[in-house]
A and B are shown apart, each in its own frame.
Chain A
Amino acid sequence: MKILVAVKRVIDYNVQIRVKEDGSGIVTDNVKMSTNPPDDNAIEEAVRIKESGKATEVVAVTVGDEKAQETVRKALAVGADRGIHIKAEGIIEPLAVAKILQKIIDKEKPELVFTGKQAIDDDCNQTGQMLSALLNWSQATFASKIEIKDKKLEVIREIDEGLETIEVNLPAIVTCDLRLNEPRYASLPNIMKAKKKPIEQMNASDLGIDTTPRVQQIKVEEPPARKAGIKVSSVAELVQKLKNEAKVI
Chain B
Amino acid sequence: MSVLLIAEHNNKEIRSFTLNAITAASQIDSDVHVLLIGNNCSDVAKLLSEISLVKKVLQVEAAHYENYLAENFAPLIVKVSENYSHIISSANTFGKNLMPRVAALLDISQVSDVIKVVSSDTFLRPIYAGNAFATVKSTDSKKCVTIRPTSFEPCEVLGGSASIEKIEAIGEFTSSKFIKREEVKSDRPELGTARVVISGGRGMQSGDNFKLITDIADKLNAAIGASRAAVDAGYISNEYQVGQTGKVVVPDLYIAVGISGAIQHLAGMKESKIIVAINKDGEAPIFSVADYGLEADLFEALPQFLEELNKLNTIQK
Contact = CB atoms under 8 A, between A and B. Distances in A.
B238 interface: yes
B100 A178 contact: no
Contact of A138 (B71, B105, B181): B71
A161 B292 contact: no
Interface residues of B, number: 88
Contacts of B296: 235
Interface in B71-101: 71, 74, 92-94, 96-101
Interface string B272-300: 01111000000000010111111110000
Chain A, interface residues (CB within 8 Å), range:
35 or more
Nearest to A37: B245
A188 interface: no
B13 interface: no
A63 to B, nearest CB: 15
B176 A167 contact: yes
Given A158-B239, A160-B94, 19 more contacts: A26-B128, A26-B132, A95-B108, A96-B109, A120-B129, A120-B244, A123-B127, A130-B103, A165-B180, A166-B177, A167-B177, A167-B179, A215-B138, A226-B270, A226-B291, A235-B305, A236-B308, A239-B305, A248-B253
Overall SS of chain A's interface: mixed
Contacts, number: 253
9 contacts: A13-B264, A123-B112, A125-B113, A126-B112, A144-B238, A235-B301, A241-B292, A242-B276, A249-B312
B315 A162 contact: no
A139 B127 contact: no
Nearest to A175: B97
B108 to A, nearest CB: 7
A238 B177 contact: no
Contacts of A239: 305, 308-309, 312
Overall SS of chain B's interface: mixed
A206 interface: no
Given A162-B182, A246-B253, A223 B127 contact: no
Residue among B128, B220, B309 with max Cβ neighbours from chain A (10 Å): B128
B224 to A, nearest CB: 14
Residue among A126, A236, A239 with max Cβ neighbours from chain B (10 Å): A126
A179 interface: yes
Nearest to A132: B101
A124 interface: yes
Interface string A202-242: 00000000000111111111110010011110111011011
